[in-house]
Structure 1
Amino acid sequence: MPINPEARPILLARWLFAVAAVIVIMVIVGGITRLTESGLSITEWKPVTGALPPLNESQWQAEFDAYKEIGEYQLVNGPAGMTLADYKFIYFWEWFHRLLGRFIGLIYALPLLWFWVKRQIPAGYKPRLLALLALGALQGTFGWYMVRSGLSAEMTDVSHFWLSIHLLTALFTLAGLIWTALDLLRLAQIPNARPARLTGFAWTLSAVLFIQLLLGAWVAGLNAGLASDSWPLMQGRLFPEIDMSRGALYALTHDPFLLHFLHRWWAWVAVAALIVLARKARVFDRRASIIIHSAFGLQIILGIATVWTGVNLWIATAHQGVGALLVAATAWGLHLIGRGK
């Protein structure tokens, strides 16, 4: 693919890596928001005015009164004696999470417009960059649908299905940013370089990792991490008791014990696939192999520690953050083996 004289692929690659880094931070903050049960603290979506938090006590009280109308307050936090100070704590994390989302939108959309006007985008990359922008917009939309799923008098939490859609879209966007940035770096080195392709192995590994990430999102959404505080056994046995009274499909998508069990053991299938990826990537860049091994090794350790500590806030948050880094490392490895000669 020829490169036009005005194009600045290295500059674009650095920009995309920077956006990817902020998305990793966003995933970490999202984990804290989830673990502190802060996601339903803001009951409205105000794209512009919502960037400012309440500025006086009357505004704080109005937000708190709106929160009192939903099931999470009426059934959980209200009976527990939540005060306005308690509410301000959970409000902060949800507000900060949304603020980061707005910030990511700005640091992606404004530079993209600049590069476009300055004709610095290499030929063939505009559709991909626009697709990534659309994914970011979808991410915000899915986030609001997730919050809205928990805003009723009967619900005390968001839908774990919407939570998984929200999280997986973020991780897919992260992988797309890394992949595109790596394509641009290669284009800067080899002017006629073709974009890397997804091999058959890449599709297989992606499917394995997708299942593990989906299970992890459902575990988080259903608080299934609390189903056991021991490892490798659950409830003193390898295979836990599972409620099948509503059918196998319902159990597979809702039973916290089954989902916890699947998440902890499917992880080893993912590890096996990632070891193969690391060996393949090592041929092209030894650093990628080291990073992939380090990421999944640390992720396994943090996962076990999360269970043993009864889902400690900071260990569980680190588990989610390293998960995002593992996705980025996987994208790097798959890109290496997907390059043309």
Structure 2
Amino acid sequence: MSDSAVADLTDAADTLHDARERVAEVGSDRLERVADGHAAFVRTLDRHEDEATGYGEFEKYVGFQEAVADRLSDLPDDLPARGAFDAADEALQQQTLSTTDFDRAREALAPAAEYAALYEEWTAARERYREARSAVHGRRRALEERIDDLDRLVRLGGADLDAPTHRLRDPVAAYESAVREAFGSFRREASARDLLAFVETTEQYPLVPYDRPPERLREFVAGGAGTEPIPRLLEYADYSRSKLDHYVESPRELKAAVGTNQTYLDGLTADPLVVSWPPPPGERLRYRCEELLACVSRFADDDVAARLRAVRALPRETDYATLRESAVARADLTPEERERLASGSVESDLAAAREELERIEAALADHPPLSDLADV
């Protein structure tokens, strides 16, 4: 695909070069003036032909001649093909006009039309060049992503799949089990007000990604019903209003605040508090554990915190990078990828992608952006 994109860019560059050489003989600004003048003159002819050639339409005839004069006054005397505009005007200087006169005027504009065609060709060549270069850029981005993916596969292919990854897995799993149990108890037993207050405190910890509670829900739990736990409020939200009258003071407010936010409340789980498997790189694990400790200690006992500190110590007390790489390889490599690694096709694909990227880079260097090209 890149060879095709490079070929398109090369061809577009050749076309642009040829057009630039011809445009340079005139000057792009002057050429544009001719093209604009030609287009305006032709529009004037097309707009007025029917009415200016009619009998007894003197006012329209005069209006047409004034329009032609306005078009001519806009054109500098030294403009290329200026004589073509004058010749067209001369063809129209008749006491009465016929379609033949308009045809002669259009024929007289032929030299200006050639300049206008050159300007359109140059504009089209520039746009094609821009699009071709953009396509090569897009191919470069795709190649860079592919090379990153293949590099990752090669790296994972070198991992020891028989490494004792349980040295990482066991502490991570033990902490996950403990924090899920502790959060489950917290959710069941704590007041909705306290639970949402805990969620709000996590805003200062970017690596503990709870969503901020909706404003209406926060305002509701600030009242008397906020002393109830979340599961109880969700149960109330399913009651009829007449039944709710026996449990809360404001059934309508509960329905509006809790019922409409049931998806959010159902989503308040321990998920943001667990350590992923495979675990993150060592430095990120340390930062995440520090933030988790600050949050977990607000509702869990010392045993949960101790298990989390054991996870935090893994990069220091184990060959963490090697074991993590093995864990990632086990989790991420598909049977097909393992087969490709064993056959050597991944390495050959990587080499081919890097060679292709070199050709892409060379093409982009040989064909700079339009903004870097000298004016003509």
Task: Quickly name the TM-score band, shorter chain normalised.
Answer: under 0.3
Higher helix share: 2
TM-score, normalization: structure 2? 0.21
TM-score (norm 1): 0.23
